[in-house]
Structure 1
Amino acid sequence: MKFLFTAGGSHSTVFSMAPLATAARNAGHEILLTVDEPTLATAEAIGIPAAPTPHPGQAAARLDALLELARDWTPDVVVGGLSYVPGLLAAHLDVPYVRHYWDIVPLRDEPALPPLLERMGLTGPPEHALFIDVCPPCLRPSPTPGARPMRWVPRNRQLRLEPWMYTRPKGRPRVLITAGTRAFRLRNTGASMRRLVDELTLTGAEVLVAAPPGAAEEFGTELGDVRVGWLPLDVVAPTCDLMVHHGGASTAMTGASAGVPQLITPENDYAKAIARAFTGFGGARTVVPQERPDEDPGEVIAASCREILGDPRYAERARALTKEIAALPTPYDVVEQLETMAGG
């Protein structure tokens, strides 16, 4: 069988879909992932066959690209996420459409959808044959009818490992700070990032700053004696006592899979929804420095870090979340269901 996966406009969606795509390929099926050009290198780096499509915001052009691809490589199953475009392709091909999504915020309507429906001769958005939800049930704001839960399996770019990456430091906690794939988040923090690093170092913590390649040269001397640069987050996370990040789904779930307490500083509504869910469960705290303009953001975040590190309840709840994730069906379980659904 042929499985066509279509990822949205972020690296996180590529990491999210990769485990299911890999499971399908390991089961003997052909796979192909379509992504927009800026995230193509990410798919290539983690070994997923990928082809470029226009940015998800260009819905009509994206549909044209998928229709053209399908003429040469016709899938038996189409797996999509946030966009309705993959469903339109599946309806055109008369093959099952599978929605693969992190169900923690409602799906947004697409302004370009009505003309696309008219073009494809449809009266409404195509129904999915299966809805795969990689959000742990305990984090959902409400039950999702018909959702097929699937275990989140961390997937990241890799590099040559060194012992410090997969071993815990002796006698002191390890705190990892990351802005995901966005180096500008680190640049924008300026002196506040240095203040945060200094405050954590004074507590005796070892500080790691995960950032895109080249960040070590840009930030290394500014942040003092800390490790700065690209890290294989799935390898390093289990060695950490705390993760500080912006609220990206991939980062948050990698920490959750490793049982690590988290401090989340969300900057948009999507990240705030993730922060609320993790904080509500008890394994994280949410800090929005912008709500405390008279205080230094670095000091505000550092104070919350000290509270998390000093209160074992955060680690206990983080481990409880890890157990729930581990009990969910694996991507291989879901592939078996897809095979049955598609008649493979």
Structure 2
Amino acid sequence: MRVLLTTAAWPSHYLFMVPLAWAFRSAGHEVRVAAQPHVVDTVLKSGLTAVPVGPDLDFAGLHRKFVAETDPAQYRTRDAIITIFHRVAEMMTPDLVRFAQAWQPQLVVRDPVAFAGSVAAEAVGAPLVRHAWGPDLYGTAPGTWLAHHVLERLGPTYRLHGTTPPAVLDRLAVDPTPPSLRIEAPGTSLPMAYVPYNGPGVVPPWVLQRPARPRVCVTWGTFTSTATDEPEMFLVPRILDALDGLGVEPVLAVTAAERDLLGEVGDRAMVVQDLPIHTVLPSCSAVIHHGGATTVLSAARFGVPQLTIPHLFEQRLNSDLLEAAGGGIQLKAGQAGPAAIRSAVADLVRDGSPYAAASRRLREEILAMPPLGDVVDQLEQAVRTDALTASAE
């Protein structure tokens, strides 16, 4: 079977899809990954075959532009966010459809905002599957609203490529979230055990040694610190100040761009740059982060309690679900002063912490979910029986 994965806008959107892509390859299927040029290197480092589609794009710059030029309420709930993802889809569609018509995939798998994948799938008559990043936004009112309006705007693009907009974007979603964090979205959901993949890296020797003090990882993802020009979007220096004297061992996992924002750290913490967090988390007693789905699920996979300080809608959604499941503490951006951070971390790492017990339950839920191989088998069966076509409903 020929499987075309397509991802849009940002490298971290692709990382969630890598384990399933590997599982398809291991089962003997042909796999191609269509991505914008700035994501191609990430695809190649994952060991898969890339197909560049569309012009290059500074997605963070585009995002900052709309945040700066748009009323915040309108950006969060109205036209700007639709325009961003519609523009990205329009950029990708011509090359993506051209490749799909030449290669003729039998299954197309898209990330939740890779809307161009729907046009390509319709153009070649291939079934389309959505690969959720984490808690599936399509089960929320904002997620449904976004999909509806982007699909509406893409109407002329579908017709340009000889097809029409589908009644729904995709009829099946692969969902890597454990039951306690899951959102029921429209269509059929196919649960899949989350496998952390945060890119390639070298395991440092110190992560294999038991730390003398509780190790606390601090990470801010790969997008949040550059999403706007607001200083409040990068809180790692404030968090480090709050951890001083708390009796923990901070590990700051940052990107190259964030390293310049840290300033002088000295011996207050260990700083690791571009190190995949799945190599560090097993040795940690807690993790502090922005509420991104990758970090939420990676920490849950290793049973690590979490402190989240979210800013964007998706991050707040993830944090609400995690808090409700008992696996973490959430501080709103305006509440995240040093005293509140210190108190939360102390609660997470203390002996007998209920957050640690709840985090272990999340880990057990993930380990009990269907493994990747079973999910590939189910998708193969769905394609063979035309179960993902409108006529099969």
Q: CA deviation at 1:48?
A: 2.4
Letter in 1 for 2:328: A
Shift of 1:181: 1.6
Q: Would you say the 8 A contact 2:244–2:268 is kept in 1?
A: no
**1:138 positional shift:** 1.7
Report if aligned partners of 1:98, 1:132 keep a CA contact under 8 Å in 2: yes
CA distance in 2, matches of 1:190, 1:270: 14
2:245 alignment counterpart: 202
Q: Tell me which residue corresponds to 1:41.
A: 41
Secondary structure of 1:58's counterpart equals helix
Runs (4 or more) in structure 1 with deviation over 6 Å come to: none
Which stretch of structure 1 is more off in the superposition, 148-157 or 35-44? Answer: 35-44
Between 1:85-94 and 1:104-113, the stretch displaced more is: 104-113
Q: What SS does the aligned partner of 2:3 have?
A: strand
Distance change in 2, residues 1:14/1:168 (3 Å)? farther
Displacement after TM superposition at 1:263 (Å): 0.4
Quote how far apart the aligned CAs of 1:196 are.
2.9
Range with greater deviation from structure 2 (7-16 or 323-332): 7-16
Q: Could you list the runs of 5+ residues in structure 2 that have no partner in the other structure? A: 58-84, 386-393
In the alignment, the residues of structure 2 paired with residue 123 and residue 215 of structure 1 have an alpha-carbon distance, to the nearest angstrom, of: 41
Aligned mates of 2:159, 2:255 — CA distance in 1: 42
Query: Of the candidates 205, 208, 211, which is equivalent to residue 169 of structure 1?
Result: 211
- Whether the 8 Å CA contact 1:135–1:149 is kept in 2: the answer is yes
Q: Structure 2 CA distance, aligned partners of 1:121 and 1:139?
A: 37
Deviation at 1:191, TM superposition (A): 11
Instruction: Name the amino acid aligned to 2:52.
Output: P
- 1:198 is displaced (CA, Å) by 4.0
Gaps of 5+ in 1: none
Alignment of 1:1-344 (within 5 A): 1-54=1-54, 57-82=87-112, 83-101=114-132, 102-106=134-138, 107=143, 108-109=146-147, 110=150, 112-119=153-160, 120-122=162-164, 124-126=166-168, 128=170, 130-142=172-184, 146-170=188-212, 172-182=213-223, 184=225, 188=231, 193-213=236-256, 219=262, 221-222=264-265, 224-228=267-271, 229-290=273-334, 292=335, 297-310=337-350, 312-343=353-384
Aligned-residue identity in percent? 29
The Cα of 1:76 is off from its aligned counterpart by 1.5
1:2/1:74 contact within 8 Å kept = yes
* Cα separation, partners in 2 of 1:138 and 1:144, compared to 1, 3 Å: farther
What TM-score comes out, normalization by structure 2 length? 0.78
Query: 1:328, 1:79 → 2: CA distance?
Result: 20
Separation of aligned partners in 1, 2:201 and 2:169 = 40
The code of the aligned residue for 1:245 comes to H
- Superposed CA offset, 1:164-219 (max 9, x none): 1233313x100000011248469936996445324424121110000113755763
Q: TM-score, length-normalised on structure 1?
A: 0.88
Deviation (angstroms), 1:64: 0.9
* Contact 2:217–2:284 (Cα < 8 Å) also in 1: yes
Shift of 1:7: 1.4
> What is the DSSP-based 3-state SS (H/G/I as helix, E as strand, rest coil) of the residue aligned with 1:135?
coil
Whole-angstrom distance in 2 between the partners of 1:215 and 1:265 = 17
- Given that 2:200 and 2:276 are in contact with CA atoms closer than 8 Å, whether structure 1 keeps it comes out as yes
Report the secondary structure of 1:336's partner residue.
helix
1:48 alignment partner, SS class: coil
Distance 1:36-1:201 versus aligned 2 partners, 3 A rule: same
Letter of the 1:203 counterpart: L
Given that 1:141 and 1:277 are in contact with CA atoms closer than 8 Å, whether structure 2 keeps it comes out as no
Rounded to whole Å, the distance in 2 between the matches of 1:124 and 1:189 is: 41
* CA shift in 2, pair 1:122/1:184, >3 Å: closer
* Root mean square deviation of aligned Cα: 2.7
How far, CA to CA, are the matches of 2:166 and 2:287 in structure 1? 42
Cα shift at 1:161? 2.1
Q: Is the 8 A contact 1:178 1:211 kept in 2?
A: yes
Q: 1 CA distance for matches of 2:52 and 2:331?
A: 37
The alpha carbon displacement at 1:234 in A equals 1.0
